[in-house]
Structure 1
Amino acid sequence: MTKPVFRFAPSPNGRLHLGHAYSALLNADFARRFEGRLLLRIEDIDITRCRPEFEEAIYEDLAWLGLRWEEPVRRQSEHFGDYRAAFRTLKGRGVAYPCFCSRKDIAEAVACREAETGRAWPHDPDGAPLYPGTCRNLSAVEIEPRIAAGERHAWRFDMAALKKLLPGPHGYHRFDCDGHEERMAADPWRWGDAVIVRKDTPTSYHLSVVVDDTLQGVTHVVRGQDLEAATDLHVLLQVLLGLPTPLYHHHGLVLDPEGDKLAKSRQSQALAELRAAGATPQAIRQRLGF
């Protein structure tokens, strides 16, 4: 019988905090409980923010917590070819188009639409305004010279085309601590024409994580509730690429005293700081309920 495969997949763009520790420990706990395997993946597609010293710190922090994982560790920056191949498949199915818009362009277009209609523009689950479709219907005659000239561009899903091609319904199964499963509906359309290849790298979080989970044989994805809505897009990508859909478990988030989720961008207290202040791995585990 094939063993379940779990993975913890941090980004080396800052030091790990208690929220990361909880997710890593929960993955390890599930792997132990289900007699499965635990993998570590370094999600470093953002080559401008990810740094080697933060990657080394991830290994140090996780080892300090007493965690062990299988080798070798998959580093996304070493596998851009896998993501390019997956994107070629998507592009070949006619469900993606290049987008030359900047954030400022999008904000101005949304403001114009709101002024014209007198209604608030819809937003995606992460709170960003839905893409207004500025580049959706550009012709090849317009697109090709701009790309040939090196104009920076992302690639977006054409959700209208996708809805015709794969109307659904789409869904996945989530699992709980006892292994019970429940069917969940996925609604990728609420994301609008989401970016699937960024301007600065030949992939996106959504595309790379789906490809990685398949190539690594991941069967159970355990991650925070802040990524639950993204599963809509991941399920759609899995269907488009003919990939298996893992089981999912989205855990509660560790919050700061103000009730906000911990985040590197807000300089949440790092595990290294807690360690320097005298915290022990046992104390961290107990604090997090392990």
Structure 2
Amino acid sequence: MDFTNLFNNLTIKADNLELAMDILPHKDTLFSSKIKELDEDVKELKNLELLLKEAIKQQNKHIKDEYSEVKGIIENVNEKMLFLLTEIDKIEPEKKTVHNPFTELNSPAPKLFDRLQANPAFSELNTPRMSIDQYAKSPFAKKKNSTKLQLKFSDFEAEITAEQFDKIPSYIRGRIPLHDLQNFLDEIVIKCFNSKYELYYKNRTCLKPSDYNLQLFYKEQASYFEGHKFITLGDLARIMGKNVDKKDEKFLQCLRFLHLIKEARKNSATCYIWIEK
């Protein structure tokens, strides 16, 4: 046994004990300041915790109040809408339409004037509807157009239903949406028919030389398909202000599939015949 190391260790322990005996009487003086700082930190943290809880409580109350207010406004608006719909049903019961999911493709399409958003033709003349035959015998055929408003004939009115549109094969319609196809029908094809037959039956004395020449051309073409109303690719190009492109041809193909128009050729002219319903 190494007595030297043993005595050295005992000496170190004795020194540590002696140092501890010197420090212990002064313990309160040495640590009191640190303990006080820690107590103050704990109190501050508790105060912050209370403030945070109060802030969260106030925020929740504010959000609930806003939710209640918005909910009340929505309920009020819904009540007003229900009231208005009820009143509309009382005032205009004739505008209600019955939806038939089994409508055949070749059944008559709803007339344009039945649509809620449609502007009645001849509204400025207090004449809701007029056929081409009525127009040809009326004083309007002898009157110069004082406005740019184009006449709308009841002979050329059609609305494509969602059921009809869904029956068009995807390889024909591609990515064309229903509203684009309806817009092409209304703003290009039907407008072209209206423009042509308004001019066709116009009195000669009301026409400019260029319009009169076009009228003579229309009357020469009348023998192509007697008893039928039709337009040509040239007529469509005149309405659009450009040649018919691939997208326009796709629209026309969809309308042919829906049996609204029929394509035919005569004397090297491509014609589109309106199919009577």
Please give the TM-score of this superposition, normalised by the length of structure 2: 0.21
By percentage of residues, which structure has more strand?
A: 1
**Structure whose CA Rg is larger:** 2
By percentage of residues, which structure has more helix?
A: 2
Higher normalized contact order (CA 8 Å, seq sep 6+, divided by chain length)? 1
